[in-house]
Structure 1
């Protein structure tokens, strides 16, 4: 399989970078190919422009501002997102990736009668998120209702690709995680990816 791995962290030496490196190595070890899209490293502009928003319902939608990334997404069989959760949400640059790249004519089509959207990312068969949170698991899951997982699974993956294999793997309480816990988390990711 060919994977687009999207990394969203501003620091080159971050744990998210280590996760992306470990995931890439595990995928390549199993014969998969990986296209790493480092949003910060590639200076991705997350801001939906006025022109893009005004043309949101145009057919065809003008995605010329992100054509290169759209081509990379369309060439992939699987999508893996690597990012920290800040304030129980995506980093702004990753939200901008969804706003600008998961656009009409690319990730979905508007139904002619209005209302519903029709998935277009039929090439994406696997959609995973490898993430960290600063809060303990019970705060994220019980108190907050696991908002990032819910948004990704119900609000993005399900609306843009049918019959997609969805999974999140999270390291909770990241700010207090020991080196041993981080190493164990990387091993957990490698083990999960080995089954792809």
Structure 2
């Protein structure tokens, strides 16, 4: 399987980077092809430009400003996102990745009748998120209603592809846990990805 592995963290020595490295190594050992897209290291600009917004309903939509990323997304069989949750949401650079690369004609098309959108990323069969949050489990799930999971599963994955394998592995209470728990989470990521079939 060809996996586009997207990392969204500004620090090269972050735990997110360690998760991405673990994911990449495990996938390669399992015989998968991995394309690591490190949004910060590749200087991805998350800002939707004026031209991109003005042309949002043009056909075809102009994706020339992000054509390299779009090409990488179109040949992937799976998408794995690695990121921290900040303020119960995506880092801005990852939100920009969705805004600019998950564009009309790429991730979806507008229904000619108006209103709804039709999924276009039929090549994506796997959509996983490997994430961390500084909040305890109960705050994320019971108080906040797990907004990142809802956005990813219902608002992005379901609108862009059908019949895909969605999964989210989250390490909670990130700022207060022990090194042993961090290592246990890396092992959990390794075990989950090692079970992926080609």
Match of 2:190 in 1: 190
Q: CA deviation at 1:194?
A: 1.0
SS in 2 for 1:79: strand
Unaligned runs of 5+ in 1: none
SS in 2 for 1:135: coil
Q: CA deviation at 1:156?
A: 0.1
- For residues 118 and 170 of structure 2, the distance between their equivalents in structure 1, rounded to whole angstroms, comes to 29
Residue correspondence of structure 1 range 135-146 to structure 2 within 5 A: 135-146=135-146
Match of 1:85 in 2: 85
String of CA shifts for 1:14-68, please: whole Å, max 9, x gaps.
0000000000111111100100000000000000000000000000000000000
SS in 2 for 1:69: helix
Q: CA deviation at 1:177?
A: 1.6
1:155 aligns with 2:155: yes
- Aligned pair count reads 196
Unaligned runs of 5+ in 2: none
Q: CA deviation at 1:117?
A: 0.3
- For residues 92 and 189 of structure 1, the distance between their equivalents in structure 2, rounded to whole angstroms, comes to 24
- For residues 33 and 12 of structure 1, the distance between their equivalents in structure 2, rounded to whole angstroms, comes to 22
Q: CA deviation at 1:195?
A: 1.1
1:38 aligns with 2:38: yes
SS in 2 for 1:37: strand
Match of 1:52 in 2: 52
- For residues 92 and 169 of structure 1, the distance between their equivalents in structure 2, rounded to whole angstroms, comes to 20
Q: Runs ≥4 in structure 1, deviation > 4 angstroms?
A: none
- For residues 184 and 28 of structure 1, the distance between their equivalents in structure 2, rounded to whole angstroms, comes to 21
